[in-house]
């Protein structure tokens, strides 16, 4: 475990295990703990697993800007340089998958394989609507009823939902129901993370940065054509349009759909997702 300053921002990271390098990138409003228990620990018997907190998350510093997937990919490159990780298998969930994708597009030779879990790729899916997946979980229904928002018109439904839940949590409102995994769902303590998330997205320009497209479709197809790629998406995910676009651009991609999986399936369905990841890593090693 350590702290490394990259681009003037202190990043918290940790490594466990020995073997080929396997690097994990978490999504928005999460932290490296997302990966620790159900992925890094079990895989540490075979890999050197590296996890870190994105800027503005966990124990890394919050910076006023630099939250686009492209900027965060540059940050990842700086961290991997500092840790002397020349080449790795790379795994990202949600926005972390976007960061991983941008990193791979910029440094294809340094990526042995790439696994994307339920990422909305801004360049391929600029809007994310309720209609992309009309199914609502009991928790989403409860939040929707409280919010007074017309969700059918919302063009960035995932990001907006995260914000609404964070504001409810920060106000110490109790929500009547939970899914297997819900954002800021870790009991009373998660109010701290919810407040940190609100503070982050209320910074001028950060929301806009989170929606910036990275490299375009043609560049993705060209730069990643030789990269072994695993796409894992939830059956109930609103990121599925990104999965379809990525698989069309990159025909080498292996695709797995998690039955009844929502956006947080890496945690809720770890018992099946981790073996899928392991099989893929075995196939490319």
Distance of CA 109 to the CA centre of its chain: 22
CB 151 within 8 A of CB 128: no
Residue with tokens 């819900």: 182
Task: Give the C-alpha separation, 118 to 242, whole Å.
Answer: 8
Our finding on whether 12 is near other proteins (CB under 8 A) is yes
Region 87-106 residues binding other proteins, contact defined as CB under 8 A: none
Give 247's contacts (C-beta < 8 A, 6+ positions apart). Answer: 231, 253, 255
Stretch that binds other proteins, among 34-42, 99-107, 135-143, 229-237 (CB under 8 A): 34-42
Q: Does the footprint of other proteins cover residue 77 (CB under 8 A)?
A: no
Work out whether 38 is an interface residue with other proteins (CB under 8 A). Answer: yes
Quick one: which of 150, 174, 218, 271 contacts other proteins (CB under 8 A)?
271
Q: Where on the phi/psi map is residue 251: left (φ > 0), alpha (ψ -120 to 50), or beta?
A: alpha
Does 36 bind other proteins (CB under 8 A)? Our answer is yes
| Contact of 26 with 35, CB cutoff 8 Å | yes
Stretch that binds other proteins, among 28-36, 75-83, 85-93, 147-155 (CB under 8 A): 28-36
Of 11, 25, 31, 233, the one binding other proteins (CB under 8 A) is: 31
- Of 38 and 247, the one with the shorter C-beta distance to other proteins is 38
CB 269 within 8 A of CB 148: no
Residue 169 touching other proteins (CB under 8 A) = no
Q: Which of 106, 88, 102 is nearest to 51 (CA)?
A: 88
Helix, strand or coil for residue 8?
A: coil
**113 is written with which tokens?**
């394989």
The nearer residue to other proteins, 94 or 227, going by C-beta atoms, is 94
For the chain, first and last CA: distance in Å? 26
Q: Which is nearer to other proteins, 38 or 147 (CB)?
A: 38
Q: Provide, rounded to whole angstroms, the least separation between the CB of residue 195 and other proteins.
A: 9
Report, in Å, the least distance between residue 281 CB and other proteins: 18
- Which of the stretches 32-40, 65-73, 132-140, 202-210 binds other proteins when contact is defined by CB under 8 A? 32-40
| Residue 170 in contact with other proteins, rule: CB under 8 A | no
By CB under 8 A, tell whether 25 contacts other proteins.
no
Cα separations (Å) of 22 from 5, 88, 90, 109, 142? 21, 5, 6, 15, 38
Q: For other proteins, what does the binding mask look like between residues 184 and 203, x meaning CB under 8 A?
A: --xxxxxxxx----------
Q: Which helix (H) or strand (E) holds 284?
A: helix 270-284
Residues at the site binding other proteins, with contacts judged by CB under 8 A: 1, 12, 14, 31-33, 36-38, 41-42, 53, 58-59, 186-193, 270-271
């Amino acid at each position: 475990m350590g702290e490394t300053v990259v681009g003037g921002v202190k990043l918290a990271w940790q490594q466990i295990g020995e073997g080929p390098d396997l690097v994990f990138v978490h999504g928005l409003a999460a932290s490296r703990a997302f990966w620790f228990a159900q992925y890094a620990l079990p895989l540490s018997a075979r890999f050197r697993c590296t996890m870190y907190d994105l800027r503005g998350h966990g124990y890394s510093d919050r910076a006023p800007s630099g939250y686009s997937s492209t900027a965060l990919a540059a940050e990842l490159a700086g961290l991997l340089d500092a840790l002397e990780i020349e080449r790795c298998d790379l795994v990202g969930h949600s926005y972390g998958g976007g960061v991983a994708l941008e990193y791979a597009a910029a440094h294809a030779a340094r990526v042995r394989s790439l696994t994307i879990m339920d990422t909305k790729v801004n360049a391929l899916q600029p809007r994310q609507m309720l209609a992309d997946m009309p199914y609502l979980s009991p928790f989403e229904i409860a939040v929707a009823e409280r919010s007074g928002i017309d969700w059918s018109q919302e063009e960035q439904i995932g990001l907006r939902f995260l914000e609404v839940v964070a504001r409810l949590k920060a106000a110490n409102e109790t929500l009547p129901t939970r899914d297997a995994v819900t954002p800021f769902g870790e009991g009373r303590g998660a109010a701290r993370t919810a407040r940190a998330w609100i503070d982050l997205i209320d910074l001028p320009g950060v929301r806009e940065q989170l929606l910036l497209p990275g490299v375009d479709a043609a560049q993705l197809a060209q730069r990643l054509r030789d990269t072994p790629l695993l796409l894992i998406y939830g059956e109930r995910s609103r990121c599925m349009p990104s999965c379809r676009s990525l698989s069309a651009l990159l025909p080498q991609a292996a695709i797995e759909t998690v039955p009844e999986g929502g956006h947080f399936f890496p945690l809720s369905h770890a018992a099946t997702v981790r073996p899928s990841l392991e099989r893929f890593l075995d196939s490319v090693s």
